[in-house]
A and B are shown apart, each in its own frame.
Chain A
Amino acid sequence: MSDQDHLHAISGLITALQAETTTDAETLRIKYLGKNGLFKEVSSLIKHVSSEGKKAFGQELNRVKQQLESKLTELSNQSKQQQSIDLSLPGERQKMGHIHPISQAIEEISQIFEKIGFNRVRYPEVDYDYYVFEALNMPKNHPARDEWETFFVDTEAHPKMGKVVLTTHTSNGQVREMERLHSKPPIRMINVARTYRRQSDATHTQMFHQFEGLVVDKGITIQNLKGTLDYFAEHFYGPGTKSRIRPFHFKFTEPSFEVDFSCHICGGTGKNCRFCKSGWHEVGGAGMVHPNVLKAGGIDPEIYTGFAFGWGVERTYTLKKGLNIDDIRLFYSGNLEFLEQF
């Protein structure tokens, strides 16, 4: 070994110390500066250094020893400092905002339907009587309209489209979507929007949200509606949730159904469950699109069939297990104590 190699061996100690992964200063002190430590081992090389190189070797030894000591002191201090952190201290948090629960619900619902090919859309909240009722097979003064507590806008009626109303349901999007797509199926629409009814209590607000599914194509059957409902139930409420359809009546669907999801609280048994009706939760309506509605959208009911469903976002969301919201007016209260929980 040359004198240069001996000098490199000394400076190599610093590199080796820096590469150490242990932070225990005492262990390292013993390893490097202990009686049989690496420094002593390297110092002993002096006997192999040429007489003219001995001075430089001695100076380098001193320099490196100082560096080793200083590095070990630094590690020791670091270790002491680390030990002194009180980990029980609470965290300092950045101010955090919250997405409104209705937005969270809409996002989740939309994503579920988008995965099975539905297109999200939004149609006017203030719309003509034509789209809200008449095109949906509900002529003027029909008793079926009673079920929709309609708000009327104080403005002149359109000679053909009728009065201007606040949409009582998202079903106004049905014929509008058919028109947008130039009456050419396939249609797979999910329309989410604000809707309005003249009502207010713990389970009803004047304004609420609905999501409306509409599928029109050749060969669409009740089985496809059932498949879609089951798919949604499993993904929104969790595995094992079932759906069922029961006879109901809407003017714009034929046949019409009431849709129930199995209660995830009692597992659908209904036993001693105060949240459901005999193991089921009623979420809203559905049905096969009425031929007159298809005709209003320019689609031939002899060739195409379709299904539609429309449910309240708030109602659907509050049925989630463990959510326990018993007054949907809270959603619109602007109460931060409520909103910051989401």
Chain B
Amino acid sequence: MNILIPDSWLREHLQTKAKPSDIQKYLSLSGPSVERIYEGDVYDIEVTTNRVDSMSVRGIAREAATILKRAGIAAKLKPLTLKSIVRHPAKDLPLPEIIYETEAVHRVLAVVLTDLQPAQSPETMQERLKAIEVNVHDALIDISNYITHELGHPCHVFDYDKIMAKGGKIIIKEATKGKSFVTLDEVEHRTLGGEIVFESENGEIIDLPAIKGTLNTGVDRQTTSVLFWIESLDAKKVRQASMGHAIRTVAAQLNEKNVDPHLGKIVMEYGVMLMEKLCQAKIASSLYDYFPNQFQPQAIVVKKQLIENYLGIVLIDAEITSILTDLDCQVTCDTTTIAVTPPTFRPDLQIPADIIEELARIYGYHQLPSKLMSGELAVQSDPNTNYHFENLVKHFLADQGWQEIYSYSLVSKEQAEASGHPLADHLGLSNPLKEETTYLRRSLIPSLVEILELNPSRKELSIFELACVYHPKPNDLPTQPLTLALLSSRPYRQVRGDLENLLTRLYVFANDQELLIEETNPGKAKVIITADRKKTTLGTLQILEGGLTAIELDWKSLLQVSHRYPRYQKLSNTAAISEELTFTVPEGVAIGPLMTAFKESNALIKSVELKSIYQANYSFGFVFQDPEKNISTTQVEPIRQKLVTIATDAKLTLVGAL
């Protein structure tokens, strides 16, 4: 939460000669971060959610006083003493009857003021409110905004006469569901049930406490008497109501963070003083103060060794005591421990690590040395993947001309349906930000197709992505396998060639494994790696509309068949014979199985390769080799004859003669 504070306002609470730039520098290093200083020396300060005590001018002044002092710049928090609230002898109005039907109330302060005169706030107050981006109204409203910002506890003014006209009772209770009420900004709401509300004796809601006032009891131009009110409620209840109603006022944002109820009284005194001064108000009742079960902070015992464990240095008792006392803590030290009782406004200090944080930040993180850790290394690597292979595959594909893509894991309904899985078998978000990012994808291909379509000027484009897909699993997290997807508008043979090259690079073939593209439907196939009789399915290959080739491989399966090195084959000492045979291939004959049949027809055939295709003529290259002795043309002759027979049986015609 960011807070704006004009320098002049800060110095009403902070006595120092530090320049604004010093205040920015040292506060940022050891306390709340001063992100910017705007024109007119207005600090823009980020206060973390646990430090509600710093969300005010005085809170920042208190931090600054401690931090500047450590930096060697004289600084002091000015004392704040205000006169007690005493009823005007000539005025006497009864307080409303306050009835508690819930235990979620930590404190209530209230006083009646009367004879209020309409007035504008003084110029300084108006300028400061404008500087902190708060609208200026009349003095009465401005006072409550001003003191909230200055001291950090929200407050409220009711129109006293309206409260009394409704029976003079304020019943504090948990709301039943569905009751209507209208807030000060004239917006109608209905209770959610369970949030704290104020009701009149006839059950009308007259306030959404700690969050926002209601119109039926708010002040207006006719108001002459007010009930000046401060409540401290259970922070969780405040948050529940604020989030539930989506009313995120400054009051709600402070009250949901456990503002110190002890702060209420001084805020009330300050408000009364300003109302007397600016609106000529007269105190017409005694101060009502309901403060059950006052919270008493407990001492936190910290082992000195633990401080050293965190900081890596030894802090002497005097230094520890000095830092913590400056932070309003009570400290006692013995030989091995320190006992620290934090002030009531620091509910964030609960465990030893919290105290160590205070010591370290005020001592100065920048004062601590910087050094790498020594010691034993952790060696158990990730069993789910191999990052070396991930990088290798990415680099290899890029070197082959493939562009890597990162696309969103969340997809539209249309893309989900295009995955081949029914929409109902997808996981969706219950709170998507956009329609096009609603479903967790089960395939990377539709995302890649979209990217190809987004780049129509690129002819023959090849793209790939390595990312997770998400398959629902009953009563469990979805399975989230890492998947490698390739999509290309280049001709199928070239894409397959790249796949074969990739598998070569991963030493798949050099470890006695082969690639099998097993067609399951026209244009759709399984990508399989075979080794002996074992088959490992890597994923799918399909030809999409427009002749796009899409390959999707399961990463873990690809890893299973990949190797870091080949299985070394003895170098051959014998000569090989290379020959080509050309056949005319009729339509409908699959070349893959035919080549397998060629290869398997004789052990002396070392390799079979499709060399070229010209119209219906396919030229195959054969290498014949005997590992034991040099092969002769006489030996090749029957093998060649067998090859022609296999081809002829498959309805191919030899071009030329043997």
Give A residues with C-beta under 8 Å from B: 94-100, 102-103, 107, 110, 116-117, 119-122, 124-128, 141, 143-144, 147, 151-156, 158, 164, 166, 180-181, 185-189, 194, 196, 198-200, 206-207, 215, 217-224, 226-231, 244-249, 254-258, 277-278, 288, 290-291, 305, 331-336, 339-340
What are 29 A-to-B residue pairs whose CB atoms are below 8 Å? A96-B398, A99-B404, A103-B391, A103-B406, A119-B380, A121-B382, A125-B480, A141-B239, A151-B433, A153-B427, A158-B475, A164-B427, A188-B378, A207-B410, A219-B373, A221-B311, A222-B311, A222-B360, A223-B371, A244-B29, A244-B365, A248-B33, A254-B351, A288-B353, A290-B353, A291-B353, A331-B406, A334-B450, A336-B458
B460 contacts which chain A residues (CB < 8 A)? 95
A154 with B430: CB separation less than 8 A: yes
For B372-387 the 0/1 string (1 means CB < 8 A from A) is 1101111111101101
The answer to whether B467 and A194 touch across the interface, beta carbons within 8 angstroms, is yes
Give bound CA distance, A117 to B380, whole Å. 11
Please indicate the chain A residues that have their CB under 8 angstroms from the CB of B380 in the complex: 119, 180-181
B532 within 8 A of A: no
Q: CB distance A200 to B433 under 8 Å?
A: yes
Contact call B451/A334, Cβ cutoff below 8 A: yes
Query: Which residues on the B side are within 8 Å of A144 (C-beta)?
Result: 49
> Which residues of B have CB within 8 Å of A247?
30-33, 48, 357, 361, 365
Residues on the B chain within 8 Å of A291, using CB = 351, 353
Interface residues on B, range: 35 or more
The answer to whether the Cβ of B549 comes within 8 Å of any Cβ in the partner chain is no
**Chain A residues within an 8 Å CB radius of B462:** 97
Assembly CA distance A183 to B452 (angstroms): 46
Q: Which residues of B contact A141 (CB under 8 A)?
A: 236, 239-240
- The distance in angstroms between the C-alpha atoms of A255 and B32, with both chains bound, is 14
Q: How far is the CB of A100 from chain B (nearest CB, A)?
A: 4
On chain B, the residues within 8 Å of A254 by CB distance are 351, 353-354, 356-357
> B123 interface residue, CB < 8 Å from A?
no
Residue of A nearest to B354 (CB): A254
Within the complex, what minimum Cβ distance (angstroms) separates A50 from chain B?
46
Which of chain B's residues has its CB closest to A217's CB? Answer: B375
Which secondary structure characterizes the binding site on chain A?
Answer: mixed
Give bound CA distance, A196 to B408, whole Å. 10
* Bound Cα distance from A185 to B380, whole angstroms: 11
20 new A-B pairs (CB below 8 Å) besides A95-B401, A254-B354?
A97-B402, A103-B394, A119-B379, A119-B382, A125-B480, A181-B378, A198-B431, A198-B433, A215-B373, A217-B375, A221-B310, A246-B29, A247-B365, A249-B49, A254-B356, A278-B24, A278-B25, A333-B454, A334-B463, A340-B403
Q: With A154-B429, A194-B468, A334-B451 known to touch, is A226 a contact of B370 (CB < 8 Å)? A: yes
Query: Bound state CA distance, A156 and B429, in angstroms?
Result: 12
CB-CB contacts of B439-463 with A at 8 A, as 1s and 0s?
A: 0100000000011001100101111
Question: By the criterion CB–CB under 8 Å, are B310 and A222 in contact?
Answer: yes
A256 to chain B, nearest CB (A): 8
A98:B404 contact, CB within 8 angstroms = yes
CB distance from A258 to the nearest CB of B (A): 7
Q: Which of B373, B402, B450 contacts A224 (CB 8 A)?
A: B373
Name the one of B35, B428, B433, B470 contacting A206, with C-beta atoms under 8 angstroms.
Answer: B433
- Minimum C-beta distance from A175 to chain B (A): 15
Complex contact B405–A100 (CB within 8 A): yes
Residues of B within 8 A of A116 (CB): 372
Asked if A230 and B404 make an inter-chain contact with CB atoms under 8 angstroms apart, the answer reads no
Question: Would you call B455 and A336 a contact (CB within 8 A)?
Answer: yes
Does B312 reach chain A (CB closer than 8 Å)?
yes
A residues near B467, Cβ cutoff 8 Å: 194
Q: What residues on B are CB-neighbors of A199 within 8 Å?
A: 433
Chain A hits for B360, CB < 8 A: 222, 255
